[in-house]
Amino acid sequence: MFIETQETPNPNTLKFLPGRPVLEKGVIEFKRDDPIIERSPLAALLFSIEGVVSVFLAQDFISVSKEASLNWDLLKIDVLEALMDFFMSDQPVMNQPFSTDETESENEIVRQINALLDQAIRPALARDGGNVTFHTFDEETGIVYLEMIGACAGCPSAAITLKMGIERALKHHIPEVKEVRAA
């Protein structure tokens, strides 16, 4: 089995492409000591490696973030070995169902925001091993609250991406959006 490794703009995160599906749909991020880790045998295995602080699962890749004080040279070997062992074992990535479906009660502006995020923003962020999650839209102020996840969380250019990239696109296509802030 060959697992491709790609650097991301975040020096503490690497993107791993196993050449097979990871999740059927959606994305999910796990942080160390997060109680939902038990939902994913893959995440649990990666967190058994000292220095791993977050695991981001997407449809065709895994982003792993490390403690800033550690070097990728040895840690990368441990992560690759764990990923190969996991995918050779044919265990499920998730042992509990997980849903990313949006609620039916969304208003039209929120639907437009999520559609634009899905169509234009998330694919670009996925190339760098990350994603963005929608939290809320304040209709009175026009402020959208988003959270950068995966390789985008803690990335040195995350604030620029949020303001110059995502905010600019949302404001251009959805006039009700006046500002984007980190959640």
> Which tens digits make up the pLDDT trace of 52-107?
999 999 999 999 999 999 999 989 999 999 999 999 998 999 986 665 444 445 78
Mean pLDDT, the chain, rounded, equals: 91
**CB atoms inside a 10 Å sphere around CB 156:** 10
CA angle in degrees (0–180, nearest 5) for 84-87-91 = 140
- Max intra-chain CA distance, the chain: 52
pLDDT surpasses 60 at 179? yes
Written as six digits, the tokens of 106 are 């969304």
Looking at the chain, how many residues does it have? 183
Q: How much is the pLDDT for 149?
A: 92
Give one DSSP letter per residue of 122-164, joined into a string: HHHHHHTTEEEEEEEEETTTTEEEEEEEETTTT-TTHHHIIII
Integer angstrom CA distances of residue 138 from 49, 101, 103, 117, 146: 40, 21, 17, 17, 12
Q: Is the pTM higher than 0.85?
A: no
Q: How much is the pLDDT for 49?
A: 97
Going by the DSSP 8-state scheme, the letter that residue 33 receives in this structure is T
Q: How much is the pLDDT for 1?
A: 78
Percent of the chain with pLDDT over 70: 94
Q: How much is the pLDDT for 15?
A: 97
145 or 26, higher pLDDT: 145
> Which tens digits make up the pLDDT trace of 31-60?
988 888 889 999 999 999 999 999 999 999
Q: How much is the pLDDT for 105?
A: 52
